[in-house]
Structure 1
Amino acid sequence: MRADGHDEASGSWEAAWSGGGRAVHLGNAADFNAQFTPGDRNAHGPLGRRDQGHHYACLAPFYSPHPAAVLLPRHLDGAWMDLLSSQLDWGKVELHSGIAEQSWFDEALAARPALLERLRATGLPLLPWGRTAGVDRLTGRADDGVLAAVRRFESKAAALDLFREVARDHPDIPVRIQRRVDSPRRLARLVAEAARAGRTLVLKSEYGVGGLGTVVVMPSEVARAGGARALVRGLLADGELERGGDVLVEPYVTAPGRPRDLTFDAVVARDGSVHPVGVAVMRVAGTGYRGATVGPGVLPDGLALRAARFGCDVGRALAGHGYRGWFDIDFINAGQGRLAPAEANLRLTGPAVAFMLRARLDAVRGPGHLVRTLDEVPLGARVPQEALFEHTRRLVRLCEPLGATLLPTLPSTGFEPYPALGVAIAARSTVVLDAAEALVRAASAQLGEMFADIAPD
């Protein structure tokens, strides 16, 4: 492991993850999230949440550095895959999209046994976003204890307990105090006490992804809501906190170091060994994940190494509990060289995409790439797929003279009420990354101008 927290040779984690070769990618992000929703997933959890997961499953081409086949719940024109393949030297990638437009991924795939059998017959690894009972049945995996470990440590409470055990050997890793609150009335009381003392709190549902189910509550917001009880009622009514579940309450890190939000990714191999992938700097808006940057020099070596050492020890503890597969540990930079672990994710994550792309680009174009993912670049207008593809091709051409490579990652939300495009940008310096990002954001915001001449007065 290098001083910056990255694996000495990417082949180590690639071999542990995908066998070091090509793989079949299963876009089951919505199904993974749904297994933590109380009750039956078809009776609970609004359709919107499933739709969000299916949109995020468009990251499936990046579940390993070199896909052989990709299965997506949402329809995606093959031109997108052709564009990615040409930039990443993938060769032919078999694309099956639109298989779960109005259903869950595992149910839709179960209804296509011939496709599933043909993919299994390739002998290639079948890699999902995360392990679920449904995808295990489809891929023929036996109950090996992984699902129990996923269920246990995706809990933000159980993860902190594990962090506390591991941190005994890491004096520079402070683990925050966390309280479990089992009623809205008790929660309102804690919020009111903190507001009177001028303290900010973090409220978390026990399970949640990408910042969903996590709320930062400042004293000013309590006053604006008309008191703690009104604020808590509103959070539960709006679904920002899981109704009917316990709420975890933590102190907010008010004076963090910079960069604030970090994550460490690694793979637990079948034999239980831990293979570090690297440390990323995350971009977080409020509590929502928006992207990550990976590569040489993105953060001080000492900080990265500290995160990696603790993360590897957490990985070994997870292995002892039966987990195998990809995981990450999110940290808040508490300043003065201290890293406060926030949660564990026992699955692929958004930053994993940046690591996969960096590994592939380094393999086919030479080492030294930095990769930045931007999951939500706002578009100035709702754009149908064909027009969005042409816009993306234009962005590719605009970035090339800067020395940057642009790759579309989330192209399915261009016609949503809040249209956006997800992209990754690769370059060999942060200066070029910053310039390319500014260009992409400006050009995407200007999309609305094409309709200016036809807009009513």
Structure 2
Amino acid sequence: MRAASWQDAWTGGRRAVHLGNVADFNAQFLPQSRELRRLGHHYSCLAACYTPHPAVLVLPHHVEEGWLRMLADALAWDPVELHSGIADEDTTLAEGLAARPALRQRIGGLGLPVRPWGATAGLAAEPGRGGAGAYGTDGTHTAGGSLEAVRRFESKAESHALFTRLAPGHPAVRVPEQRPAGSPRGLVRLVRERAALGRTVVLKAPHGVGGYGTVVLTADEVGTAGGPRAALRELRAAGVLPPGDGILVEEHIPAHRRFPDLTFDGVIAEDGGVHPVGVAVMDVEGVNYRGATVGPGVVPKALAAPARAFGEEVGRALAAEGHRGWYDIDFVVDPGGRLAPTETNLRLTGPAVAFMLRARLDAVRGPAGHVVRTIDQVPLGARLAQPALLDQLALVAARLTRFGVTLLPTIPTAGFEELPTVGVALAARSLDELTAAEAVLRRALLEPADLWGDLESEAG
């Protein structure tokens, strides 16, 4: 009998309904504003890739049908039912769905697995027989995780305690020292003590996503600001650190030159079994997540093997606490190659999209071996409405195809922001092809006036 794969554990190997509830999930842990909600809605476009083969896609922001056609053509998807424009910067996806009883009934009547970004009260996909799932609203337990487990282990203090308990059995893992500040005065004292020793510290809010609420603070920066109290005041005024207590002070780990940031992804099945998905290299700018790369040869076995072993043990511990569904563990790799786990995420993540795309491309194009890189924010040289942005991406995609690289737009809704960007994924057979394609893509989108004429003539 064939062993169950992570895709079996995730959806029973079936197509699914994807709910773009990133902003809803974040609102459980982060102070909310219209701007943060809008940005979360942009990121929800990644819902197209919550599984390798979606059946229904429900998104807060409006998206053009042409975007979905580009993905479907490249990934050989069967027709995908699209519902977009469900929410805006003043509403969540759950609120938008609550105002659309016909859509809720449609989702519930399909009998398909329902996969959100993560477990959220008021928006849940309740597991049913065979892992199919049904649409529900109580949020007590979902294929996106149990709310109790999610709320506990999304905490950076709780995840650190879990890592500390499990690490003794993993010689390649070193858990950074972490101390709760306890109070604003205690935070000032801890920063002062470490700055006096010339040490860099990492300050962490109890919860955060994508780098929000995490700060790397050097001794020089403390001195330049006029001391720890002034430095902390500046960080809070800039919105980098949230107000209030609960800040954690963590040891700073110097990063490996070639592989500074890794992540392990896995799925916990309904029976509690842990199914590894893989290890990815993350692109982290400062403390902010920007994308990930997955595929053969991306992560050396000497790093991937211990990351997987530790990740699986963390998964078993999370399963014992009631979590079901996707999870990951992020690591900083020190110069000697030891892995420092920094947080758990009991939900889908950006790297999960890269794994989904790789799985789909390997399945429909074969043989297995695609290398996939996601880039969530490629700067644009001008603000572009979706139709114009998609036209330009189609021209770049045509050029990259000649080099054996596939371009997949993942976040097409942020092109008209004050600082316009687009999210993409690139797929190829080698890292060298990806690196060359990324350089072409970035230049073409940042300097369209110089290149569009050439691209249009090539496409013609």
CA contact (8 A) 1:10 1:277 kept: no
Letter in 2 for 1:24: V
Aligned length: 437
> Which residue identity does 1:286 align to in structure 2?
G
Residue 283 of structure 1 is matched in structure 2 by 283
Q: Is the 8 A contact 2:122 2:139 kept in 1?
A: no
Kindly provide the amino acid, as one letter, of the partner of residue 410 in structure 2: T
Question: What does residue 8 of structure 2 align with?
Answer: 15
Secondary structure, aligned partner of 1:402: coil
CA contact (8 A) 1:378 1:445 kept: yes
User: 141-150 or 160-169: which moved more?
Assistant: 141-150
- Quote the Cα distance in structure 2 between the aligned partners of 1:421 and 1:179: 38
Instruction: Map 1:33-182 to 2 at 5 A.
Output: 33-37=26-30, 45-101=32-88, 102-136=90-124, 139=136, 143-144=140-141, 146-182=146-182
Q: How does 1:274-423 map to 2 (within 5 A)?
A: 274-366=274-366, 367-423=368-424
Distance 2:407 2:256 in 1: 31
Deviations 1:111-170 (A, max 9, x none): 111111111111110100000111128525673481100000000000010111111211
* Residues 1:255 and 1:291: Cα distance change in structure 2 (over 3 Å): closer
Asked if residue 222 in structure 1 is aligned to residue 255 in structure 2, the reply is no
Match of 2:456 in 1: none
Partner of 1:3: none
3-state SS of 2:124 partner:
helix
- Render the CA deviation track for 1:166-201: whole Å, top value 9, x for unaligned: 112112211111010132222122222222211100
CA contact (8 A) 1:10 1:359 kept: no
Percent identical residues: 56
Residue 444 (structure 2) pairs with residue 446 (structure 1)? no
Amino acid at match of 1:355: F
Q: CA deviation at 1:313?
A: 0.4
Letter aligned with residue 85 of structure 2: G
Q: Which amino acid aligns with 2:392?
A: H
Runs (4+) of structure 1 exceeding 3 A deviation are 448-451
List per-residue Cα deviations over 1:380-404 (Å, max 9, x = no partner). 1111212111111011111111100
Secondary structure at the aligned position of 2:122 is classed as: helix
Aligned 8 A contact 1:72 1:97 in 2:
yes
Give how far 1:255 is off.
4.8
Is the Cα contact below 8 Å between 2:333 and 2:339 reproduced in 1?
yes
Q: Cα–Cα, structure 1 residues 334 and 76, in superposed 2: closer, same or farther, change >3 Å?
A: same
In the superposition, the TM-score normalised over structure 2's length comes to: 0.92
CA distance in 1: counterparts of 2:336 and 2:223, whole angstroms: 33
Provide the residue aligned with 1:253 in structure 2. Answer: 253
* Partners of 2:432 and 2:96 in 1: CA distance: 44
Q: Say whether 1:29 aligns with 2:17.
A: no
334-343 or 398-407, which deviates more: 334-343
For 1:176 and 1:65, the matched residues in 2 are separated by 35
Preserved contact between residue 290 and residue 376 of structure 2 (Cα < 8 Å) = yes
Residue 89 of structure 1: how far off its partner (Å):
0.4
Verify the 8 A CA contact 2:120 2:139 in the aligned structure 1: no
Q: Which amino acid aligns with 1:173?
A: V
Q: Which amino acid aligns with 2:66?
A: A
Q: Using the alignment, how far apart are the partners of 1:90 and 1:255 within structure 2?
A: 40
In the alignment, which residue of structure 1 is the partner of 2:208? 208
Contact 1:184 1:232 in 2 (8 A): no
Distance 2:185 2:336 in 1: 37
Tell me the distance in 2 between the aligned counterparts of 1:86 and 1:427. 16
Contact 1:74 1:99 (8 Å CA) reproduced: yes
Say what the alpha-carbon RMSD is for the aligned residues.
1.7
Is the partner of 1:130 in helix, strand or coil? coil
- Counterparts of 1:183 and 1:315, CA distance in 2: 32
TM-score by length of 1: 0.93
Q: Secondary structure at the match of 1:265?
A: strand
For residues 79-109 of structure 1, what are the alpha-carbon distances to aligned partners after superposition, in whole Å with 9 as ceiling and x for unaligned?
A: 1001100110002111100000231110110
Q: Do 2:184 and 2:245's aligned partners in 1 also have CA atoms closer than 8 Å?
A: no
Structure 1 pair 434/255, CA: closer, same or farther in 2 (3 Å)?
closer
* Letter paired with 2:330: D
Structure 1 unaligned residues grouped into runs of 5+ = 1-8, 38-43, 452-457
Amino acid corresponding to residue 383 of structure 2 in structure 1: R
Deviation at 1:222, TM superposition (A): 1.4
1:432 is aligned to 433
Once residues 112 and 171 of structure 2 are traced to their aligned partners in structure 1, the CA distance between those partners, rounded to angstroms, is 42
Give me the whole-angstrom Cα distance separating, in 2, the residues matched to 1:312 and 1:350. 19
Alpha-carbon distance in 2 for matches of 1:257, 1:134:
44
Residue aligned with 1:32, SS: helix
Give how far 1:11 is off: 6.3
**Alpha-carbon distance between aligned partners in 2 of 1:176 and 1:421, rounded to the nearest angstrom:** 35
* Secondary structure of residue in 2 paired with 1:133: coil
Deviations 1:420-444 (A, max 9, x none): 1110000000110011001001101
Structure 2 distance, partners of 1:448, 1:225, is: 42
How far off its partner does 1:10 sit? 10
The worse-fitting range, judged by mean Cα deviation, of 17-26 and 335-344 is 335-344
| Separation in structure 2 between the aligned mates of residue 249 and residue 31 of structure 1, nearest angstrom | 28
CA distance in 1, matches of 2:255, 2:73: 45
SS in 2 for 1:393: helix
Note the C-alpha offset of 1:412.
Answer: 0.9
Q: Secondary structure at 1:21's aligned position in 2?
A: coil
Give how far 1:54 is off: 0.6
